[in-house]
Amino acid sequence: MSRKDGLRSTPRSSNIGHHDRAQSNGDSERNMWSSMLDSVASGKKLPEKNLIILGGNPSTQKDFIETLAAENTPKKPQHRYKRKPPIANDFALGYTYQDVLDTDHEDLLARLSLYLLAEPSPAFASLVKPLLTSRTIPESLIVILLDWIEPWRWIRQLRDWIRFLRGITPDLSDDAQESAEETMKEWQQHKRGRSYHDVGGGTGSTESNVVIPLSQGEWDEPLGLPLCVVCHRADKIDALETQHGWREEDFDFVLQFLRTVLMKHGSSLIYTSVSAPNSLPTLIHSSLGIQSLLKKQTLKHNIIDRDKILIPPNWDSWGKILVLREGFDVEGISKGWSNETLLTSTSETAKIDDKSDETSNSTAESPAAKGTVLQIYEENIRDPRKARESGKSKSGIAGVEVEAPNMQAFLGTQSEIMERLKREEDDAAAAAQEKEKAGKASSQTDSHYTQRYTSTAADGGPVSDHIGRVEFNMGGIQVNADEMLQRLKNREGKDKPRSETQTPNPQTPSKAGGDHKAQNEQLANFFSSLMTKNRSSSPLSRKTDEDG
């Protein structure tokens, strides 16, 4: 029985061994295929990058996203690229994504997740904290979006966003904080050692790998995350110059101010616009470590073109800022910015403002000592609405902003002005005519009075009655001048008819008549002069003249 059992057991054990071998072979095949699939999946997996956009409004944020995606739009879009991803940024924390394409628009280099937040309210901090983990921090970039429509608000907006980010960092996990510290060290050292021209990520030459020490005022206050400040809609710069009276000094002041405060956080700076091509995609992609496989892109600074400014990270310094325009207190602004960003409550802000008002009354060498950094900026770059209320522009002169009236009201006002000017001209012409007539009448009156006075005096009229007889001594004989004149007139009257009745000889002129008439005239003039002289020298005549 045992033998039969032993014989029967032999084939059963062989069947079990064959089944085990087949099972082990199937497991090994499955493990091989799974490992192959995992390796292929990991090779095809796209790098994920995060871009946290702070500031702006829904319209500005959409323009920024379009500008960022300008280089990623293929000329002949395939089926999978025809539909753009929607942008949800109307409420609280918005979101959208972009696929970063290579130069030939065939290969995907990375997937970019964009998170958008418009208001620096502390209530939104809980929405941003989950985005910052030990895994996502090295692959993230913070973008603060400013708008050229309101450049007088830039420093206030920057201050609020810096405070917002500093309020989030202490609440992160220990692993996230360690990751943030390592990221900052990498940006200060490793990326500083690499030339900013080398965006493709190559090793470069030996000189480009030399670590340069930090300059004064650089990386004084790192935020734990890479930072980039984008001043969007730079096409509005011309409107600031024509409508609000901006000058080159104002644009230089804004640029120097931004560069000074952003150096403390290791931030880059760029001016962008939708209408003009710019280096925004290159700057963002290089900051996130997205590298093209076909083309090595270059990123070069630009501080000349006022609408295409580009300051790469780890490039700026105080010396370069002062070269732009002399007289800017870069050290004072840098120190004042540290105090400005540390303020967290309204009471502390009020205390600093009161203190700045007291120091502004005293004499100080540094412009930053006259008030807070925010006050200094807003005094130089003034809001046109406040300037109109105060009657002065940001430069201290009368504002150039005017409100155009209605066309009909303007024409009616001009018509009234023209009528008033016409009436004034007519009145002036009439007054000139009256003055001319009065002058002629006065001259005629004076001549008539002179003739009347002379004839009255000669005829012995009222003047002679007041004065009396005019006598003078002539050769010892007392002669009456009036009687002599009267005799001369009578004699002339008697001689005149006789001379007229006589017919003169045409060949011999009458000398006797001419001599006699000339003698009468001489005597008449002589006696008239004597009478005039005596009357003018008498006291009664002087009194009469004074009364007249």
Could you tell me where the beta strands, DSSP code E, fall in 348-452?
none
Q: Which of 66, 65, 76, 64 is nearest to 105 (CA)?
A: 76
What was the pLDDT predicted at 292?
81
Q: Mean per-residue pLDDT for 507-536? A: 63
Of the two residues 334 and 508, the one the predictor is more confident about is 334
Q: Name residues whose C-beta falls within 8 Å of residue 114's C-beta, 6 or more positions apart in sequence.
A: 51, 53, 65, 95, 96, 97, 98
Least confident of 11-20, 207-216, 464-473, 493-502: 11-20
Q: Mean per-residue pLDDT for 359-367? A: 39
| 115: enclosing H helix or E strand | strand 108-117
Backbone phi, psi, residue 151, to 5°: -70, -20
Of the two residues 104 and 288, the one the predictor is more confident about is 288
Amino acid, single-letter form, for residue 279: S
pTM: 0.61
What is the distance of C-alpha 367 from the center of its chain? 21
Of the two residues 162 and 369, the one the predictor is more confident about is 162
C-beta atoms surrounding 253 within 10 Å: 19
What's the Cα-to-Cα distance from 212 to each of 166, 192, 207, 261, 544, rounded to whole Å? 28, 7, 10, 21, 110
What was the pLDDT predicted at 410?
86
Of the two residues 487 and 3, the one the predictor is more confident about is 487
Task: List the alpha helices (DSSP H) in 85-141.
Answer: 125-128
Give the confidence band of 8 by pLDDT, cuts at 50, 70, 90. Answer: very low
In this predicted structure, the answer to whether residue 206 has a pLDDT above a threshold of 50 is no
Apex 349 CA angle, 344 and 350, nearest 5 = 145
What was the pLDDT predicted at 255?
96
β-strands 140-147, 108-117: how paired? Answer: unpaired
Residue 103, token pair as written in the block? 């130069």
What was the pLDDT predicted at 294?
75
Cα dihedral sign, 278-283-288-291: positive
Top-confidence range, 57-71, 338-352, 367-381: 57-71
> Rounded to an integer, what distance in angstroms lies between the CA atom of residue 148 and that of residue 154?
9
Q: Name residues whose C-beta falls within 8 Å of residue 86's C-beta, 6 or more positions apart in sequence.
A: 96
In this predicted structure, the answer to whether residue 222 has a pLDDT above a threshold of 80 is yes
> Rounded to an integer, what distance in angstroms lies between the CA atom of residue 519 and that of residue 516?
5
Task: List the alpha helices (DSSP H) in 120-188.
Answer: 125-128, 154-168, 174-185
1-19: b (≥16 Cβ within 10 Å) or e = eeeeeeeeeeeeeeeeeee
Q: Which of 225, 250, 79 is nearest to 152 (CA)?
A: 250
SS3 labels along 12-65: HHHHHHHHHHHHHHHHHHHHHHHHHHHHHHHHHCCCEEEEEEECCCHHHHHHHH
Residue 123, token pair as written in the block? 């209530």
CB of 69 within 8 A of CB of 131? no
Structural domains of the chain sorted by starting position, each given as residue range(s) with its CATH number in brackets: 44-325 (3.40.50.300)
End-to-end Cα distance, the chain: 185
Give the confidence band of 192 by pLDDT, cuts at 50, 70, 90. Answer: low
Residue 119, token pair as written in the block? 């208001």
Give the confidence band of 6 by pLDDT, cuts at 50, 70, 90. Answer: very low
β-strands 268-271, 108-117: how paired? Answer: unpaired
Q: Which of 99, 98, 138, 134 is nearest to 115 (CA)?
A: 98
What was the pLDDT predicted at 447?
58
> Rounded to an integer, what distance in angstroms lies between the CA atom of residue 502 and that of residue 495?
11
What was the pLDDT predicted at 483?
78
In this predicted structure, the answer to whether residue 239 has a pLDDT above a threshold of 70 is yes
Q: Mean per-residue pLDDT for 96-115? A: 85
Per-residue pLDDT tens digits for 40-78: 555 457 789 999 999 999 999 999 999 998 766 555 555
Residue 419, token pair as written in the block? 């009528």
What was the pLDDT predicted at 468?
59
Residue 230 three-state SS: strand
Return contacts of 183-191, CB within 8 angstroms, 24+ apart: 183/137, 183/138, 183/224, 183/225, 183/226, 184/219, 184/222, 184/224, 184/266, 186/138, 187/222, 187/226, 187/266, 187/313, 187/314, 188/214, 188/219, 188/222, 188/266, 188/314, 191/313, 191/314
